[in-house]
Structure 1
Amino acid sequence: MPQHKMITINGIRYRPEDVPEGYTPPARRTPRTLSTQQPTPPGPFDPSAAGVDAVLAYLETADHTEATRVLDAEADDKARSTILGKREEILAAKEGAGDGDSGGTAG
């Protein structure tokens, strides 16, 4: 008995010689096509989409400008007191870390 490669069309299996006239198989996606698609870059951190612990952890690594942006977004959206209560402390730490020679006296 000869081997036939069955073709499935809308869930129905056909032998190649029994395929309806005019049928064209759908284009296949090759690995090359898939690998050329660029992932979308992530947008800016959204504090409303994260829990309190995640926001605080992010703020530890963010620079002063980003921390200010995130804290302002938090104040405009969820306004969680756990995060906003630490606003001054967080921003003061960022200002101190940003100045390389502050706090010292010349002389």
Structure 2
Amino acid sequence: MENTKMESCVAAFETCVEACETCATENKGIAGMENCTELCNTCKDACNELITASKNNADNVDELCKKCEEACTACAAECEKHTDMEQCMKCADACRKCASACKAMLA
């Protein structure tokens, strides 16, 4: 993959990590938000793995990209349920963009 495309993808992954971290932190301990918090943490971890692998040109980038796309899609779907929570809306948006970046990497 060309360098500028990879940099663009990594930027989307990093933005997603930040959004998921914020969302999980702000929702921690709120009744009914356990699934959201768990999915945000899973997504953040998947994105961080992919960032590291991408920067190191690891052999398993495609596998991690698929895992990241799945985690981002699940997280976005959950966060979109909480329209009254700004952090969830921002997280859902970042996750959708990250999932799109993963699709672009796999294309």
Q: Same fold (TM over 0.5)?
A: no
Higher strand share: 1
- TM-score, normalised to structure 2, is 0.31
Q: Rg bigger for which structure?
A: 1
User: TM-score, normalized by length of structure 1?
Assistant: 0.31
Greater relative contact order (CA < 8 Å, ≥ 6 in sequence):
2
Write 1 or 2 for the structure with the bigger share of helix. 2
